[in-house]
């Protein structure tokens, strides 16, 4: 995807975006945040098809569409749809294509949004597919880093937690590989960043460190990107119990970090950040989630061809 050709494009993987594309979307998001456009998507309909639970992504996409003057259709629970009668994802997509202008979808099956994009002539936006990708989360993560930290070049980011199943980490590492930053991956061996990503980053000349020792590593971080241990992706619940409390960001860990460290988390958190951290100037995870609005507005306006 290149600047000027966003209209009609799918947003399936962050790998489809060049450095120029990423910076352009962030710039459009900045413009929409500064100057709201309440009629920009008047008459357009977004289909919101979430086959997996969501709070932030689903609601911020809906709010973004409404704030731009568009409307939203969808279902609250997949059990109330004809999928329960055995309708395929392909046929479901063919139907929704006839009723809307853009599809935003989440699925626990990796590659499901890509399959839907093959069935659809309208843009399909991946709102998270299994442990694979979450490209729109990455765009709001980038927007947040740019706003709170300034540039990406020269930054050291520490990804902490479930790096095996954490799709937000996979997408963000790919996006940041366009910039001259260092990446530290902190995880137990069983949940380490997949080798394919490490190899790709090294080939692109990114400085990469891998460790399981958060206390030793965290002093290097400008941004600490915390993640939840992804219970729903573990084949064995006993394994999840082993790792669920492996890292926790609390005041003790914060003391070991740079004073200026920014703590991010895609949310939801389930115990891995002490709520006492919320009141510190380091915590930016709620602002990060709020940034979903201008960023998702930009994505919708661009793929629907109402902005370039």
> What is the contact surface with ligand CP in residues (CB under 6 A)?
54-58, 128, 137, 266-268
Plot region of 159 (φ>0 → left; ψ -120 to 50 → alpha; else → beta) = beta
Using the minimum distance from each CB to ligand CP, give the nearer residue, 70 or 128: 128
Which CB, 258 or 269, lies closer to ligand CP? 269
Shortest reach from residue 29's CB to ligand CP, in Å:
17
56 is catalytic: yes
Q: Which of 57, 92, 156, 168 is catalytic?
A: 57
Least gap, CB of 106 to ligand CP (angstroms): 7
* Catalytic, out of 44, 58, 106, 265: 106
Q: Which of 56, 94, 248, 269 is catalytic?
A: 56
Question: Minimum distance from CB of 50 to ligand CP (Å)?
Answer: 8
9, 24, 67, 134: the active-site residue: 134
Tell me the closest approach of the beta carbon of residue 267 to ligand CP, in angstroms: 5
Cβ pair 129, 109 in contact under 8 A: yes
Task: For ligand CP, give the closer residue by CB, 152 or 285.
Answer: 285
Give the span between the Cα atoms of 209 and 198, in whole angstroms. Answer: 9
Nearer to ligand CP, 40 or 145 (CB): 145
Q: Which is nearer to ligand CP, 57 or 93 (CB)?
A: 57
What is the Cα–Cα distance from 271 to 264, expressed in whole angstroms? 14
Q: Assess contact for 293 and 285: CB atoms under 8 A.
A: no
Catalytic status, residue 233: no
85 in catalytic set:
yes
Q: With respect to ligand CP, which residue has the nearer C-beta, 18 or 55?
A: 55
Catalytic site includes residue 106: yes
134 is catalytic: yes
Residue 268 Cβ vs ligand CP, minimum distance, rounded to whole Å: 6
Q: Find the shortest distance in angstroms from Cβ 53 to ligand CP.
A: 7
Task: Give the residue numbers marked as catalytic.
Answer: 56-57, 85, 106, 134
């Amino acid at each position: 995807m290149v600047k000027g050709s966003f209209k009609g494009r799918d947003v399936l993987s962050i790998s489809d975006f060049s450095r120029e594309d990423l910076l352009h979307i962030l710039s459009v998001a900045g413009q929409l945040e500064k100057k709201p456009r309440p009629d920009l998507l008047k008459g357009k309909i977004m289909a919101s098809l979430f086959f997996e639970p969501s709070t932030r992504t689903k609601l911020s996409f809906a709010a973004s569409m409404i704030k731009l003057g568009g409307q939203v259709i969808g279902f609250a629970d997949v059990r109330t749809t004809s999928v329960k009668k055995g309708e395929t994802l392909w046929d479901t997509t063919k139907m929704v294509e006839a009723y809307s202008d853009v599809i935003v979808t989440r699925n626990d099956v990796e590659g499901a949004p890509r399959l839907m994009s093959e069935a659809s002539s309208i843009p399909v936006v991946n709102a998270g597919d299994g442990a694979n990708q979450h490209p729109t989360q990455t765009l709001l993560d980038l927007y947040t880093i740019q706003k709170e930290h300034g540039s990406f070049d020269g930054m050291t980011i520490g990804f902490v937690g479930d790096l095996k199943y954490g799709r937000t980490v996979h997408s963000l590492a790919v996006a940041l590989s366009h910039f001259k930053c260092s990446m530290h991956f902190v995880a137990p061996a069983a949940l380490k960043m997949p080798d394919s990503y490490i190899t790709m980053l090294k080939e692109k000349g990114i400085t990469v460190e891998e460790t399981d020792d958060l206390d030793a590593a965290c002093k290097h971080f400008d941004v600490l990107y915390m993640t939840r241990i992804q219970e729903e992706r573990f084949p064995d619940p006993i394994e999840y119990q082993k790792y669920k409390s492996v890292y926790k960001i609390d005041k003790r860990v914060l003391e070991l970090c740079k004073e200026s460290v920014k703590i991010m988390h895609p949310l939801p958190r389930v115990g891995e950040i002490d709520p006492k951290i919320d009141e510190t100037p380091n915590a930016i995870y709620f602002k990060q989630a709020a940034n979903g609005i201008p960023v998702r507005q930009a994505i919708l306006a661009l793929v629907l061809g109402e902005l370039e």
